[in-house]
Amino acid sequence: MKKIDQWIKKALPLVGLILATTAILMLPGILSRYPASAEHYATEIFPVISRPVVYLSSLAPISLTEIFIVFSVLSSPLLIIWYIYHAVRSHKRKQFFYRSAIVSCMVIFLISLSFTLMHGIQYARRPLHETLGIVPAERSPEELAEVMNWLAEGVVANRTILPENERGGMLPINGLKELLREGSNAMDLASSEFPVLSGNGVRVKPVALSHYWSYTGIVGMYFPFFGEANANVDVPAHTIPMTICHEISHVRGIAREQDANLAGFLACVASDRPDFRYSGYMFALGYISSDLAVVDPDEYARIARSIPESAYRDLNLSYEYWEQFEGPVEEISTEVNDAYLKSNLQPEGVHSYSLVSRLIIDYYFSHIKGDPD
């Protein structure tokens, strides 16, 4: 009986940690049935509890996420060797494995808690288009053409005043460092019309190993454990502002990818900088033009002729850039990201990014033209 009591006492911490971790991971799914509660958390509680984390990580000029990931990858083999060595050499193996299990469960619990509070619950909040008063509707080919024309005009107005590199590609107006700092300002300008986009100021971090990161096909990352937004700065410059605003959207509590894309677009076009505005218009134009090309190729071709040659140079440079990174690493990365998104209340997986096309169209008719019907 005494041995049973001792076994129960030892098992209780493990069982407790496992149950607590399970409950935490189930919380976003439960709150998805009560989106108003998740919305309250995202807009009232999350900004407060995340502020010290975001502030402290923003003090460092380099990517803490990058340092952590590189260190973890390099140290993992040493940690495994250390563990095997001590497991073999230990004279009290049961006690060693028990303590190892406790530590492992505690680490998993803390990771789960941090992820859920800093990102997971936000997947359960209301869709952004509902909060912004964007009215969904079926759109005709003529309406698609109207939106594409609006975006093309935005591209023309901003691309012609931007500097270029030696290959004719767009350059940021004040350099990369200034570009990375301006993301929060763009989000703040957009939040004057859409308060839900407000939140903590953040410095987006450039990833030093961006070129190698491109093999994964990833252009940005929000690391919830540090409250840190990271950007791939090796990619063509015209895409970077949109990535910056997308990742800041995650920092400000917008989790779904289509919503972060919409928020990023709104921030870019609201910016007082032409490089941000151009990035937003080009991002949206890529989606809308593809939709219009399917339903009305002639109208698509007509509008496409109004787009300046400099914008097509940016597109060609982007195609050339990404072509060199195609391969198994990108495919595996996409599959992992797809699984991650599907496990976090986004059943569309990686296809959720492209859902922004419909949101931008409806935004135009709800807010720009002001005709939700």
pLDDT per residue over 96-131, tens digit each? 888 888 999 999 999 999 999 999 999 999 999 999
User: What pLDDT was estimated at residue 4?
Assistant: 64
Question: Can you give the pTM of this predicted structure?
Answer: 0.93
- Contact predicate 329/107, CB 8 Å: no
User: For the sheet containing 228-231, what is the strand order?
Assistant: 205-206, 228-231, 220-223
Q: Dihedral of the CA atoms 190, 191, 195, 201 (nearest 10)?
A: 140
What mean pLDDT do residues 223-232 have?
A: 97
Stretch among 10-14, 36-40, 142-146, 311-315 having the lowest mean pLDDT: 10-14
- Domain regions of the chain by residue span: 2-124, 133-368
Instruction: Say how many C-beta atoms besides its own lie within 10 A of residue 183's C-beta.
Output: 31
Q: How many residues does the chain have?
A: 373
- Cα–Cα nearest to 348, from 358, 337, 362: 337
Most confident of 33-37, 95-99, 368-372: 33-37
User: What pLDDT was estimated at residue 350?
Assistant: 81
pLDDT at 370 over 80: no
pLDDT per residue over 7-25, tens digit each? 667 778 888 999 999 999 9
b/e sequence 33-72, b meaning 16+ C-beta within 10 Å: eeeeebbebbbeebbeebeebbeebbeeeebbbbeebeee
Helix axis angle, 297-304 relative to 141-159, nearest 10°? 10
pLDDT per residue over 140-177, tens digit each? 999 999 999 999 999 999 999 999 999 999 999 989 99
**80: Cα separation from own chain's centroid:** 32
Residue that the structure tokens 């300008």 belong to: 189
User: What pLDDT was estimated at residue 13?
Assistant: 82
Backbone CA torsion sign across 221, 251, 197, 203: negative
Between CA 129 and CA 363 the distance in angstroms is 8
- Contact predicate 22/16, CB 8 Å: no
- Cα–Cα nearest to 361, from 278, 270, 258, 274: 258
One-character DSSP codes across 137-192? ----HHHHHHHHHHHHHHHHHHHTTS-B-TTS-B--TT-HHHHHHTHHHHHHHHHT
Between CA 186 and CA 264 the distance in angstroms is 9
Between CA 235 and CA 233 the distance in angstroms is 6
Q: How many CA atoms lie within 13 A of 295 on its CB side?
A: 12
Helix axis angle, 141-159 relative to 274-295, nearest 10°? 150
